[in-house]
Structure 1
Amino acid sequence: MTGHLLVLVLTFSWLSGFNVDAANPGLGINPGAPSSTIHHSMVEQGKAEMAADIVERLFDLPAGHLHPVHGYDPAQIDAWLDHIGSPYSRYAVLKTHRPANPLVLAPRGPWPRTLLFLQVLETGEVVPMGHAVVSEGVPPGQKKDFLQTILEAATTTRQELISKYQIQRFVAPGFQGM
């Protein structure tokens, strides 16, 4: 009886090891990364994916049309500042469920076929939410390439954006003001 119980316990232990491994399939582990860095990356990725989802729903785009989606990364600060600081950059301001906190799209960012996501806050702060690549081609149910649609909608200048929303500064790691 004890032998059968031992075999049963060993079998159960062996099977539960598979369940633990199955709970974390294919996720790489970076033992050198501090947990705060991993947490920051996950939060920023979540913000970018939320912004991409809002845009896809507002424009009736198929899910995943904005792909890949990347969260804000402080290592890209110079590219963000160059684009945001340029008097030639144009913005499309989207009214969402919170009109005082619109989602702002900036096409033709520092990377080709890219859409930058910015969130305007009532406090006069702007938070970068990340960016996404716009898939090439005309999406189902649309008449033209989505990037062209956004380029045509992006008529707000930097100065108009600052004035209309009383923007005082950008808030994110590495941002030092507008």
Structure 2
Amino acid sequence: MTPRRNPLLTALPPVLVIRSGTDCHAPWLKTILNVIAEELAQEQPGSNLVVAKLADLLFMQSLRTYLATDLHKSVGWMRGIMDPLVGRAISCMHAAPERRWTLQALAQEAGCSRAVFAQRFSSLVGQGALSYLTAWRMHVAAGLLLDETGNIGTVASRVGYQSEAAFSIAFKRWAGTPPSQYRAMMLGG
């Protein structure tokens, strides 16, 4: 069974190393870490919430530092979102996975020809645009299956499938199990 995978997290290396003195973001990171240490040491009311928000800032600043390097320039989702044309199309897919996307429609959103778009998307992301769209839809569907009490047909339509059967086939191919079994296994039922 395929667990729900966040494309951002899967695009990152297992460990991000930020060396002080080698990056313009390092002082910012040091400040955040010092404030987190103070919050943890003082144990004031609301410290857990403050630490959680600071951890979010720490992650975002670490991500910015990583993106400022050449390490992320390999083929993959992250490289695609950083490209002005492909990134626009990926944003559209993410914003409206239920839309009946075609290669032509995505190329129009990107502002280029279908052939240029298809080649550019594949070379940057490492898979075709419609394959990426299917994977994104399944990622969203997995979350909806766990977050909502709606039936499988509702989830199917929210991710662009007009038929529950077609959605179930695609989901099983992606997750290794039908949507109803996925929901039951992930929710412990």
* TM-score range for the pair, normalised by the shorter chain length: under 0.3
> TM-score, normalised to structure 1's length?
0.28
Judging by fraction of residues, say which structure has more strand: 1
Find the structure with the greater CA-based Rg. 1
TM-score if structure 2 supplies the norm length? Answer: 0.27
User: Could you say which structure has the higher helix fraction?
Assistant: 2
